[in-house]
Structure 1
Amino acid sequence: MDAPTPASHTAHEHCLLLQDALRRFRTDGLARAVAWGRTLAGVLPVGGRLLCAGNGGSAAQAQHLTAELVGRYDGDRAPFSALSLHAETSSVTAIGNDYGFDEIYARQVAAHGRPGDVLLLMSTSGRSDNLLGAATAGRAAGLRVWAMTGPAPNPLAAQADEVLAIDAPGTATVQEAHLVALHVVCEAFDEELPGPGPVPARQPAVLARREA
């Protein structure tokens, strides 16, 4: 059997950058990721909804999160309402064709979002115009706007109610740390749930909390 090829300097550097980013995440972002999971555990079981969006690799990350909530992260539990707006291909292409790429998320947020819902926007740069437009639409519709970004400050972080910013120099490292953060959100969500049971009929989360 051939001996494994030694890892290149670039590969070692990649791992070191990720280790450094995760060390800073543990100090500066871990508590926020846990808090987000616990907040979602108070919003989704009473009929609230999570809307997510991103571009490119961040779109895949956002869809990973919504899949964990609609399906399951670890143990079996009820499904919860979570939508990845970029996955609505007919809406994305129709809106992009009629209104322009910068509007593909803002119009969907206006259509689907209700007061008390959560909008999570993911961007390594924090500068994507379509996500900035979505943040504006989310605030106008009464949603909580969260941003998961690369290094702050950046425009998206400035528009969000809460931000989890990964301090790392490269896109790949930011996205890898984002995946860890998403899994922490899922773990905290599952831990905070009151117990198994059916999901109530859809209603604005803010109204459900008032009636509780």
Structure 2
Amino acid sequence: MTDQPQRLIADTLDQTRDLMDASARDGALLDAVGRTAAALTATLRSGGKLLVAGNGGSAADAQHIAGEIVGRFLFDRAPMAAIALTTDTSIMTAVANDYGFDAVYERQVRGLGKPGDLFIGISTSGNSASILKACAAAREMGITVAGMTGAGGGRMAEHCDILMRVPSERTFMIQQVHITLGHILCLMAEADIFGAPGRA
């Protein structure tokens, strides 16, 4: 491998490390993640469910998080309730065709959500129209709303009860922290509800 590709790889890893370090020192972010984990734990303990959505790479993050909640994270235990609103192509294409893409998550929140649930909307810009509409619908219904965004927060700041802002403006870097935060939420909820491994 020539020096140039190695330099690109090393520089990208260095930038990722630097952003992770900055995130770990961001008191507002740490507080928001802790509050979201507490909301997730309370939701799942009370028989509620997690609804989570995003677009593009954030859709993949939504599915990843839901998979960890329903399946397992660190150890075997009973399944918990989570739905990624990004996975049903029949619903998404029907709603997009009849109402426009901006409604694809809002309609699912209204149809599947109930008070006591938790909705997590993921948007690196904080301005994805489909996520904003879902956040607004969830709050109207009495569903707690948490958001994952980049540094600016965008319009999601107006529509979320809790906002986890990653201190970066670069989309792919923000996404790398978002999935780490998703893992932390799963880790904290699983440990809080089930305790040590073997107690599930």
Q: Same fold (TM over 0.5)?
A: yes
Provide the rounded CA distance (Å) in 2 between the counterparts of 1:141 and 1:31: 25
The answer to whether the 8 Å contact 1:45/1:80 transfers is no
Q: Which residue of 1 aligns with 2:108?
A: 108
The answer to whether the 8 Å contact 1:17/1:168 transfers is no
> Unpaired segments of 5 or more residues in structure 1?
198-212
Choose 184-193 or 152-161, whichever is displaced more.
152-161
**1:5 CA displacement:** 4.2
Structure 1 moving runs of 4+ over 6 Å = none
Provide the rounded CA distance (Å) in 2 between the counterparts of 1:105 and 1:134: 5
**Match of 1:51, SS?**
strand
Provide the rounded CA distance (Å) in 1 between the counterparts of 2:85 and 2:41: 21
Query: For residue 120 of structure 1, what is the amino acid of its counterpart?
Result: I
The count of residues paired between Structure 1 and Structure 2 equals: 194
Q: Which residue of 2 aligns with 1:163?
A: 163
Q: Which residue of 2 aligns with 1:52?
A: 52
Provide the rounded CA distance (Å) in 2 between the counterparts of 1:158 and 1:8: 42
**1:26 CA displacement:** 0.9
Q: Which residue of 2 aligns with 1:82?
A: 82
Per the normalisation by structure 1, the TM-score is 0.85
> Unpaired segments of 5 or more residues in structure 2?
none
The answer to whether the 8 Å contact 1:118/1:144 transfers is yes
**1:38 CA displacement:** 3.0
Provide the rounded CA distance (Å) in 2 between the counterparts of 1:53 and 1:18: 24
Provide the rounded CA distance (Å) in 1 between the counterparts of 2:71 and 2:65: 10
**1:11 CA displacement:** 2.5
Q: Which residue of 2 aligns with 1:143?
A: 143
Superimposed CA distance per residue, residues 164-187 of structure 1 (whole angstroms, 9 cap, x where no aligned partner): 011113111100011111111111
Query: For residue 191 of structure 1, what is the amino acid of its counterpart?
Result: A
Over the aligned positions, Cα root-mean-square deviation in angstroms equals: 1.6
Provide the rounded CA distance (Å) in 2 between the counterparts of 1:38 and 1:191: 12
Matched, 1:152 2:165: no
